[in-house]
Amino acid sequence: MKKRVFSGIAPTGDAHIGNYLGAIRQWVKRQDDFDNIFCIVDLHAITVSQDPTILKAKIRELSGLYLAAGIDPKRSIVFVQSQVSAHSELAWILNCFIPVGWMQRMTQFKEKSRKRKEQVSTGLFDYPALMAADILLYDTEVVPVGDDQKQHVELTRDVAQRFNSIYGQTFRIPESLIPEVGARIMGLDDPTTKMSASETAVGHAINLLDSVEVIQGKILRATTDSQRDIVFDGSRPGIYNLLVIYELFTGKSRKDIEAHFDGQGYAALKKELGEVVIEGLRPLQTRYRELTADPTYIDSVLSEGADRARPQAEKTLTLVKERVGLG
């Protein structure tokens, strides 16, 4: 029996190379090692305000990107979170077992609420309870995510343990799986902040569907420093981030990369990095265009995915309700 994997991405903004290198590419690489469920977490998307027409389109776009990146719907379940109502139901129940103090410690909430000028929703605060429900519904053992989600997986473990200690063994305790390199790709405009879909500055992120010209332009304008050496030095975040992206797209060793750029300037690095990223994304972009040429294909994959996920989720939900004494 393979271990169960569950992971997801919110269909907010444009998917970027941080999502790809930190999450999607890892899922694809280890697709055969696990029994996978990959979700498009649209209920998480509405924790911040969304335009309905755009949200609907982004759900299909992100699904298409999962498939174009190599997620095979025959080997992995791909579905949209809101199509399986057990996610919302279990999130409510788990809410009742999560002390407010745990939620208040979540750094993602603190950062997101600090940045937002408009009102912060209760949903944004409660985001980790819904994520815990996603994971716990499917007896998940492994949650492959970027570095920023580690704390949410910890909270998931804590609430699962708490529930189990009150009601007896109900949930399996999951673990996060975080890549050694690429778990935290930084913004090109500001290499001290994580590349993020909700950051709207034009030069911030390389999006997976960006054109050749846009990718080149963003990399050429990336923030660096006033030094010269092209070496992996964590204390120089701009150059370090560009080199990590280069490393991940080429698969070359750090030693070889440093030797390759020895004596060259930042302009040479940026030019070559642009080419490497463009070539690295080309197969995904081509496949994306092929897949989306048939407008019904993605919806059929999603509907089949939800049909496969639903019975598993309902089984867990029924057990939980019984344990709690509901109904």
State which residue, 36 or 224, has the beta carbon closest to ligand LTN.
Answer: 36
Shortest separation between residue 104's beta carbon and ligand LTN, angstroms: 17
User: Measured between alpha carbons, how far is 188 from 241 in angstroms, rounded to an integer?
Assistant: 8
Collect all residues with Cβ–Cβ distance below 8 Å to 258 and sequence separation of at least 6: 230, 231, 232
For 32, phi then psi, to 5°, come to: -85, -10
CB distance 234 to 222 below 8 Å? no
Cα–Cα distances in angstroms (integers) from residue 263 to residues 47, 231, 241, 255, 266, in the given order: 48, 11, 19, 14, 10
Per-residue x/- track, 100-139, ligand ATP (CB under 6 A): ----------------------------------------
Nearer to ligand LTN, 134 or 189 (CB): 134
Q: Does 78 bind ligand LTN (CB under 6 A)?
A: no
Query: From the CB of 228, what's the least distance to ligand ATP, in Å?
Result: 27
Contact 198, 13 (CB under 8 A): yes
Cβ proximity of 191 and 241 under 8 Å: yes
Binding characters for ligand LTN, 1-20, by CB under 6 A (x = yes): -----xxxxx----------
* 269 lies in the binding site for ligand ATP (CB under 6 A): no
Tell me, residue by residue from 165 to 204, as one string, x for binding to ligand ATP by CB under 6 A and - for no binding: ------------------xxx--------xxxxx------
Which residue lies nearer to ligand LTN by CB, 128 or 237? 128
- Which of 18, 73, 191, 305 forms a contact with ligand ATP (CB under 6 A)? 18
CA 249 to chain centre: 18
* Residues contributing to the site for ligand LTN (CB under 6 A): 6-10, 41, 44, 131, 134-135, 143, 145, 149, 152
